[in-house]
Structure 1
């Protein structure tokens, strides 16, 4: 049986832009429930400025409750050396860094050019490698940008190749504003796979136009076997007008299971987790599968 890996990004990417304060106990229970659902990689938080992302201010406290040496990986997002210092102190085994394929998005998001943003990671990459920490790379706006429009596949390939050359064991390609179609995703992947081996790539799709599952199917057909997803479809891009959240983890699991692909995920437990966090946030899950299977008794 073919296998695929789902990287759960809900506790970080899904929660980081929530307006209301989410109690530490809720975040910890969310991560624990996700692990019990069979997910082997769960992005647990981010060491970023609490001024800009207050929801991630308790990342160290979340990590302190987890078994960081166990079978489940709990990576955290790290934008600079300060973030790496905090990650090392917390005892993490994996971090993530991020770039963009769009110059305009890079400037608006982090006030730096693509080249400048990658330059900032050189010290982080070097120190992480010395410490035996794995590094994953993200590339935003791999199909479209809210400021530039359509993004050329060659630009995505250039940024992905740089992250891979810097030492990222995997590069996650993000359709940040969810405008992609299977044909565009296929063209983008064809360009990227000329510079980075397909087994080092992951897909990260948002569902703004309802195309995320179709795009994952296209990426799977192209050979990609790792996909990012967010339980209950949590999250969204704050810099993209009207952009909805990440594709829901339970929707991705349902697709892959339907293709006969092994994920290690217990779908019923995952759906129960989607309802748990949705209830905690005071709204319904943004997931077709969660609604189709219904709230657990």
Structure 2
């Protein structure tokens, strides 16, 4: 039996990324109803908004779902308390030390998964007692690891170092990508960009339409001095490039970045001045589809590719 489907009690080993401004209860419940594991992205929600989304998700699905929690969140104690009070059974933590909250969450019967970008941090997460890790490669959208290790090399290196279940992320949006990740040693996959361009994503329609126009080379990792983030090359990105030409200080970068620029881009649809976070794999995403179709297509392609591999090998 697959370790990920067993761990989360789901049909398919497909997890939806808990992406800020994209991952409300509609997306999370749709993924869970389609047989994957949906995640509410707490990183873009005030505590009361998160509680509302959890409550709505419980009404929208009777299947397992979880919450993604960036641990650098300013209201982290309140967020954790709400998750416990609302009876959420699965939490994905990221952007912080897994030792901080793992034991506390597990004491309340919560399954904990931590997102990492290196074997070193995967080991630390395992030592902290998490139930599984997500190893996310450099191709991923949004905030990224500083090591710039690609998924193709990261997954087998993490697999070599840990014994707990492993979920691959970064550059996966198809059944063939899913099969490749699992051949490399992953037990399941997490897809972000593919679900950002879904009917149920809470992102602005103009951002979704932009995702499906992205081609190879249209995204770039930047802002490494603050927190590395992969962005679509729009006006804001080019403004950053011009600032970098002047050897800016981190304070200069913070001043240009300002506040709520990701919300402005992805949630409010400002394609010019907004921060548009998406993975390199967007070049393979050509259509905005319902979540049920995305998962159906992914599994069908996975099965076809599996059969093809059998013929190639034997």
Q: Shorter chain as normaliser: what TM range?
A: 0.5 to 0.7
Report the aligned-residue RMSD. Answer: 3.7
Q: 1:54 to 1:190 in 2, by over 3 A?
A: closer
* Number of residues of Structure 1 aligned to a counterpart in Structure 2: 202
SS of the residue corresponding to residue 133 of structure 2 reads strand
Deviation digits for residues 124-145 of structure 1, max 9, x if unmatched? 1121121111111111xx4xxx
User: Which runs of structure 2 are paired with 1:43-122 in the superposition (5 Å)?
Assistant: 43-46=39-42, 48=43, 53-54=44-45, 58-67=49-58, 72-78=63-69, 79=71, 80-99=76-95, 117-118=96-97, 121-122=98-99
Deviation digits for residues 55-111 of structure 1, max 9, x if unmatched? 88622112113448x862211123243321121122111111114xxxxxxxxxxxx
How far apart are 1:214 and its partner, in Å?
5.8
How far apart are 1:178 and its partner, in Å?
4.0
TM-score normalised by the chain length of structure 1: 0.55
How far apart are 1:170 and its partner, in Å?
0.8
Bigger relative contact order (CA 8 A; separation at least 6):
1
TM-score normalised by the chain length of structure 2: 0.53
Q: Would the aligned equivalents of 1:202 and 1:228 in 2 still touch at CA under 8 Å?
A: yes
1:255 aligns to 2:255 (yes or no): no
Q: Would the aligned equivalents of 2:114 and 2:132 in 1 still touch at CA under 8 Å?
A: yes
SS of the residue corresponding to residue 189 of structure 2 reads strand
Flag the structure with larger Rg.
Answer: 2
Q: 1:167 to 1:256 in 2, by over 3 A?
A: same
How far apart are 1:168 and its partner, in Å?
1.1
**Residue in 2 aligned with 1:6?**
14
CA distance in 1, matches of 2:27, 2:182: 28
User: Which runs of structure 2 are paired with 1:151-166 in the superposition (5 Å)?
Assistant: 156-166=118-128
Q: Which runs of 5+ in 2 are unaligned?
A: 6-11, 142-148, 198-210, 212-220, 222-227, 233-276, 286-293, 308-314
CA distance in 2, matches of 1:61, 1:36: 19
**Residue in 2 aligned with 1:193?**
159
